[in-house]
């Protein structure tokens, strides 16, 4: 079990302190490119987007029904107006005046001249050539005014936003076919460890398959990065230093797993110290305490621990923030959602622990979190069989069943 005491040659940082130190190590990539909307999902906006048109662009009916001038309605009781004119969505309403009458309109149709209120078709009765309109509707009901969502010239999206599907719809609604984004961050990934073999090859005795590269490739690419896969590096200081320098020349961030905990077979830390400098190599987080950050020949470097669950957790709470900063994105630490712990738990003070849990519906709408029985930082099956992580605050030591704690669904950590 990892001990928390600060080491003689390193201080244990909180996640927040690590994020501050990390921010000092990185500068957002400067390059931008203009891409079509179809290729913009997940990209980071390089500039603010100001609305070139208003949304909606013109006043229109929000329902299928009858458009009227509110001033034509009786002060009390129902009203009766002659029916005249018809405007469908996409039709030109010019020349259709509403004064003294009800105009048949459909959802999305431009408002006839003078009309300011729309009655839903379900609420009216047709009588001969007239419409009987009930009392009680407010002026402006069922009308979407021009610019009520966003005026022309209004700020639609701000620079640094990582574009979501709904943002692409907003850009399209504004008539924009392309958008200027930052270039993708290039992340070089490699694993270290003489015990590692490529999946698909025969496994030697005492060998294991490299799981972390598959994990990190997918996590980095979901975080918006372009992945440069550098394979498995041997636990040998000379070649590690050479490969780190080579990687530094072709990427914006080097991401490794394994070999950082400080044992004499853990050569990554030593190789980084030879080729650059370390900013920190301990974070008060479990699993994942040995997480290193620094620079190799000027390029930011993050060394994640070897255990795959520790890789997942440290990527989610440390590396992801760094990729966001490099991407020019505003790093958003997700807000954990409240769940009720279906287990009691003991931990050390002074470190934040993440517990793998599955959710069950709770009686009061707050879900109950069940802990996975496999707690080891190497147990990938525990990640595959759970829904997310519960966060137990640094100062807590003895946590009672029933305590409310923040929950992060895996989807919140891998977007
Ligand atoms: N004396 C101490 N020993 C350990 C400590 C400690 O503080 N003092 N910390 C433990 C913790 S916690 C972790 S996490 C590991 C981290 O050590 P390293 O980052 O140096 O990682 P390795 O020793 O290289 O590997 C740990 C573990 O993970 C397996 N591994 C490594 N790479 C992969 C991969 N690509 N795919 C699948 N599995 C991988 C490796 O075989 C080891 O079993 O150190 C503890 N020890
Ligand atoms: O911190 Mo280690 O990463 O618990 O497995």
Looking at the fold, whether 223 and 311 belong to one and the same domain comes out as yes
Distance CA 243, CA 61 (A): 64
Torsion of CA 177, 179, 183, 188, to 10 degrees: -60
Q: Which of 295, 327, 359 is the last residue of a domain?
A: 327
> Would residue 173 count as lying in a domain?
yes
Q: Which of 310, 374, 376 to mutate to test the pocket of ligand 2 (most atoms within 8 A of CB)?
A: 310
Q: Catalogue the E-assigned strands of 88-152.
A: 102-105, 117-120, 125-127, 130-133, 143-144
The answer to whether residues 352 and 264 belong to one domain is: no
Pocket of ligand 2 (CB under 6 A): 2, 286-289, 305, 307, 310, 377
275 to each of 19, 47, 69, 252, 392, how far by Cα in Å?
Answer: 23, 36, 76, 16, 36
Q: Are residues 121 and 71 in the same domain?
A: yes
Count other C-beta atoms under 10 Å from residue 258's C-beta.
27
Domain match, 189 and 235 both: yes
Question: Of 327, 347, 375, which marks where a domain is finished?
Answer: 327
The pTM of the full predicted model, rounded to 2 decimals, is 0.92
315 lies in some domain: yes
Cα(96) to centroid(ligand 2), Å: 72
DSSP of 317-366 = IIIHHHHHHHHTPPP-PPPPEEEEESS-EE--TTSEEEEEEEEE--TTSP
CATH number of the domain where residue 50 is located:
3.90.105.10
Residue 368 half-sphere exposure toward CB, CA atoms < 13 A? 11
The answer to whether residue 361 sits within a structural domain is yes
Domain of 375 in residue numbering reads as 337-410
* Residue at 10 is within a domain: no
Q: Which residues fall within 8 angstroms of residue 172, CB to CB, at 6 or more apart?
A: 37
Alpha-carbon span 208 to 88, nearest angstrom:
66
Given a cut of 50, the residues of the chain with pLDDT beneath it are: 1-9
User: Do 190 and 82 share a structural domain?
Assistant: no
CA dihedral 122, 128, 130, 132 (to 10 degrees): -50
Domain-located, residue 286: yes
Q: Is the domain of 279 the same as that of 347?
A: no
Q: What is the pLDDT of residue 304?
A: 95
For the beta carbon of residue 266, count every other beta carbon within 10 angstroms: 19
- The reply to whether 67 and 169 lie within a common domain is no
Q: Are residues 164 and 244 in the same domain?
A: no
pLDDT at 104: 98
Which residue CA neighbors atom 3 of ligand 2 most closely? 288
Question: What pLDDT was estimated at residue 161?
Answer: 97
Sign of CA dihedral 141, 142, 146, 150: positive
Note the ligand closest to the C-alpha atom of 314.
2
Phi, psi of 412, deg, nearest 5: -75, -20
Asked if residue 275 and residue 231 are part of one domain, the reply reads: yes
Give the tokens for residue 56: 């909606």
Whether 25 maps to a domain, the answer reads: yes
Token representation of residue 124: 């009216």
Classify residue 234: in a domain, yes or no: yes
Produce one character per residue of 352-367: b if its CB has 16 or more CB atoms within 10 Å, e if not: bbbbbbebeeeeeeeb
Task: Count structural domains, the chain.
Answer: 4
Q: What is the pLDDT of residues 273-293, one digit of tens each?
A: 899 999 988 899 999 888 999
Q: Identify the CA nearest to 412 among candidates 281, 222, 145.
A: 222
Q: Which residues pair with 180 in a beta bridge?
A: 34
Neighbour count for residue 198 (Cβ, 10 Å):
12
Distance (Å, whole) CA 92 – CA 80: 26
Residue 8 domain flag: no
Q: How far is the CA of 173 from the centre of ligand 2 (A)?
A: 47
Domain identity same for 159 and 130: no
Q: What per-residue confidence (pLDDT) applies to 230? A: 96
| 47 and 87 fall within a common domain | no
* Backbone conformation region of residue 129, classed left if phi is above 0, alpha if psi is from -120 to 50, else beta: alpha
Residue 6 confidence (pLDDT): 41
CA of 52 to the centre of ligand 1 (A): 54
CATH number of the domain bearing residue 96: 2.170.190.11
Backbone angles phi, psi at 7, to 5 degrees: -80, 160
**299 & 277 share domain:** yes
Of 94, 125, 144, the last residue of a domain is: 144
Q: Are the beta carbons of 181 and 294 closer than 8 angstroms?
A: no
Instruction: Quote the CA–CA distance of 148 and 157 in Å, as a whole number.
Output: 16
Probe ligand 1: pick from 307, 309, 314, 377, max atoms within 8 Å of CB? 307
């Amino acid at each position: 079990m990892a001990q928390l005491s600060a080491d003689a040659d390193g201080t244990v940082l909180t996640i927040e302190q690590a994020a501050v130190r990390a921010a000092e190590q990185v500068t957002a990539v400067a390059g931008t490119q203009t891409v079509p909307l179809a290729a913009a999902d997940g990209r980071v906006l390089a500039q603010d987007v100001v609305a070139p048109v208003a949304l909606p662009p013109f006043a229109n009916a929000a329902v299928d029904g009858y458009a009227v001038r509110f001033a034509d309605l009786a002060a009390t009781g129902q009203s009766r107006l002659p029916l005249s004119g018809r405007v469908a969505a996409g039709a030109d309403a010019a020349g259709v005046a509403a004064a003294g009458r009800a105009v048949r309109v459909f959802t999305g149709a431009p408002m006839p001249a003078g009309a300011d209120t729309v009655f839903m078709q379900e609420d009216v009765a047709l009588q001969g050539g007239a419409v009987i309109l009930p009392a009680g509707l407010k002026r402006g009901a069922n009308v979407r005014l021009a610019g009520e969502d966003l005026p022309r010239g209004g700020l639609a999206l701000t620079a640094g936003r990582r574009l979501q599907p709904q943002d692409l719809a907003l850009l399209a609604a504004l008539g924009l076919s392309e958008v200027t984004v930052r270039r993708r961050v290039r992340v070089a990934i490699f694993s270290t460890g003489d015990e590692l073999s490529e999946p698909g090859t025969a496994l030697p005795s005492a060998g294991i398959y490299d799981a972390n590269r598959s994990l990190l490739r997918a996590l980095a690419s979901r975080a918006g990065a372009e992945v440069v896969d550098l394979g498995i590096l041997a636990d040998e200081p000379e070649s590690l230093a050479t490969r780190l320098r080579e990687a530094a020349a072709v990427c914006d961030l080097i991401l490794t797993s394994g070999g950082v905990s400080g044992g004499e077979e853990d050569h990554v830390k030593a190789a980084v110290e030879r080729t650059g400098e370390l900013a920190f190599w301990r974070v008060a987080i479990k699993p994942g305490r040995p997480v290193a950050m620094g620079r190799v020949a000027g390029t930011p470097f993050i060394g994640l621990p070897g255990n795959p669950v520790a890789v997942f957790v440290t990527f989610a709470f440390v590396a992801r923030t760094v990729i966001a900063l490099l991407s020019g994105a505003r790093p958003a630490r997700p807000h954990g959602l409240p769940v009720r712990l279906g287990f009691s738990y003991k931990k050390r003070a002074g470190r934040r622990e993440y517990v793998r849990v599955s959710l069950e519906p709770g009686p009061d709408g707050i879900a109950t979190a069940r802990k996975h029985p496999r707690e080891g930082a190497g147990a990938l099956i525990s990640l595959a069989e759970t829904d997310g992580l519960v966060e137990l605050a640094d100062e807590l030591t003895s946590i009672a069943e029933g305590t409310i704690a923040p929950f992060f669904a895996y989807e919140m950590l891998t977007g």
